[in-house]
Structure 1
Amino acid sequence: MGRFINPFTDFGFKFLFGREVEKELLIDFLNDLLVGEHVITDIQFLNNEQQPEVKTERGLIYDIYCRTNTGEHIIVEMQNREQPYFKDRALFYLSRAITQQAKKGIWNFQLDAVYGVFFMNFVMDKDIPSKIRTDVVLSDRDTGKLFNSKFRQIFIELPNFNKEEDECENDFERWIYILKHMDTLDRMPFKARKAVFERLEKLASKANMTQEERMQYEEEWKVYNDYFNTLDFAEQKGMQMGMQKGLQKGIQEGIRETARKLKELGVDNDIIIKSTGISKEEIEKL
């Protein structure tokens, strides 16, 4: 393991971007992501666990959920492996953040804008292999004119970002370069250009973590490593079964095998649900 933490483990991602004491990092990243559109000066972290309105509905847990000083609700998610219906899931996440704004009694339906920012360690659209960022808005199909500004999705496909350090042209690209390579870097680049990267260097350095934080990170890193090895095994098994019994059935069996092995590793049910799409009831039966 390198000098800095891996920002794409659950612990690493929330340690860097999901804490009140270090919220300036998230504010800075969001401003670079939305440069020319918004200037965010403050955020308030909201409860990332969204309970269903009725018991029969499904709850969900966001990685990071916050509200800006100008009223936008922003969901920030990290997805490490490709999932069936990931676009639908992203839509569901934003939809829940919208419906949760409903007020009892007389209400004029005015909504706060909801943004979803999705980091992906896989390629979402393989027919567009060089696209790093996909912005989704509600617009008129014929004219392209924005129809409603209250819904926005930004998908960041990390495997498609292949620039070297000296090729990064703006601060958004510098953020992506650092995040993609952080756990293999010997030094933090771009500190002379932007003070926030010096702060990021101190925060992400394992040497600056408390013993408790270091133990928690290393334990999760082990689970993270086992998780990917398990997924690779499940994918291979799914492909074999797909050739023998039909591709779709093989894929589903591979997903179930992944969930079973994650359960054996002691991974929390919420993480298994998020990683595989399998329901809590199915997991309990495994």
Structure 2
Amino acid sequence: MQEKYINPFTDFGFKKIFGEEANKDLLMDFLNELLPDRGRITDLTFLKNEQLGVSPVDRKAVFDLYCQTDTGERFIVEIQKARQKYFKDRSIYYATFPIQEQAQTGDWDFRQTGVYTVAVMDFIFDEDPAERNKLRHDIQLMDIETHRIFFPKLRFIYLEMPKFSKSIDELETRYEKWLYVLKNLARLERVPERLQERIFTKLFQVAELAQFNETDRWAYQDSLKHYRDLKNVTDTATEEGYLEGKAEGKAEGKAEGLAEGLAEGLAEGQAKANREIALNAIRRGLDNSLISALTGLAESEVEQLRTRR
């Protein structure tokens, strides 16, 4: 069955819903429900999403969405479609750009406004069994001994969307309604009765494929193909790599100790999975820098795989 609404986990879909000036009320409502403790956002401005380093040789950062609120706080809002080996490291690195850009010339006392990173993830990045059902990770700097927040102006919110499992009838808050819409929008055929609110009515109107012009339809289909290709290669390779690694680990464990053998096998399985992801991505035309970010392999390793295949 053909989809009626766009998939918000595509680059086009995410930016169509949240990244257009005419729809910034959608982004403001989502952020207000996500962070009710920081005060309501009443207006925001979209900023340039490509950030350059202080010198030509520095690595740049390209955000999905980058905006500034009416109180001067910066928000990086990202959709993350597939697991990356150093995703946490990348999000910390990206946060340094809005921190540095607040530097002022002349007599400056280093005072800064808040910087928030929000990552909506279509994968699970924390495999801790103790947090199997924890979908939201709210990170700040704190004193380890007292657990008091040390610096409230730097905050990271990670949403592991595969862990959200509530049905439409189980939704209790507007925040949960946003999570439900983000996870299920592409599967819906109409606006559910529980979502008959002004903000969601507008979202469904914005996301309805029948309202798109020809240019937007082609752009969305291209973005959707990229999303499906990326998800397919990562899901397949990761599954095969882990299964192979688990089997090898069990075999080695019989002779050398189960725990040690299994750990080594899983590590090797992940390495094989990363190489398989890279090979599949090469076949589908992705460039070396994107493949490197996706797998954690160095770009030189990716290039070697490209020349050997």
Scaled by the length of structure 2, the TM-score of the pair is 0.83
Is the contact made by 2:81 and 2:231 (CA closer than 8 Å) also made in structure 1? Answer: no
Q: Which amino acid aligns with 2:145?
A: D
Instruction: Report deviation, 1:112.
Output: 1.7
Distance 1:239 1:213 in 2: 38
Instruction: Report deviation, 1:279.
Output: 5.2
Range moving further from structure 2, 204-213 or 93-102: 93-102
> Is 1:55 aligned to residue 56 of structure 2?
yes
Is the contact made by 1:223 and 1:267 (CA closer than 8 Å) also made in structure 2? Answer: no
Among the aligned pairs, what percent are the same residue? 40
Range moving further from structure 2, 116-125 or 65-74: 116-125
Is the contact made by 1:50 and 1:60 (CA closer than 8 Å) also made in structure 2? Answer: yes
Distance 2:195 2:236 in 1: 40
Partner residue, 2:189: 186
Is the contact made by 2:81 and 2:227 (CA closer than 8 Å) also made in structure 1? Answer: no
Instruction: Report deviation, 1:269.
Output: 5.8
Structure 1 residues 263 and 48, CA, compared in 2 at 3 Å: closer, same or farther? farther
Partner residue, 2:100: 99
Scaled by the length of structure 1, the TM-score of the pair is 0.89
Is the contact made by 1:4 and 1:205 (CA closer than 8 Å) also made in structure 2? Answer: yes
Instruction: Structure 2: give runs of 5+ residues left out of the alignment.
Output: 250-263
Query: Of Structure 1 and Structure 2, which has the larger fraction of its residues in helix?
Result: 2
The structure 2 residue matched to 1:148, chosen from 138, 146, 151, is 151
Is the contact made by 1:41 and 1:69 (CA closer than 8 Å) also made in structure 2? Answer: yes
Partner residue, 1:262: 281
Is the contact made by 1:123 and 1:129 (CA closer than 8 Å) also made in structure 2? Answer: no
Q: Which amino acid aligns with 1:27?
A: M
Q: Secondary structure of 2:94's partner?
A: helix
* Root mean square deviation, CA, Å: 2.4
Partner residue, 1:121: 122
Q: How many correspondences in the alignment?
A: 285
Structure 1 residues 70 and 55, CA, compared in 2 at 3 Å: closer, same or farther? same
Instruction: Report deviation, 1:250.
Output: 4.6
Partner residue, 2:252: none
Summarize the alignment of residues 1-286 of structure 1 with structure 2, pairs less than 5 Å apart.
1-126=2-127, 127=129, 128-189=131-192, 190-192=194-196, 194-236=197-239, 238-239=241-242, 242=245, 243=248, 247-267=266-286, 271-278=290-297, 283=302, 286=306
Is the contact made by 2:85 and 2:294 (CA closer than 8 Å) also made in structure 1? Answer: no
Distance 1:246 1:231 in 2: 19
Q: Deviations over 1:102-125 (max 9, x none)?
A: 234442211121001111122233
Instruction: Report deviation, 1:241.
Output: 6.8
Distance 2:276 2:53 in 1: 28
Is the contact made by 2:116 and 2:156 (CA closer than 8 Å) also made in structure 1? Answer: yes
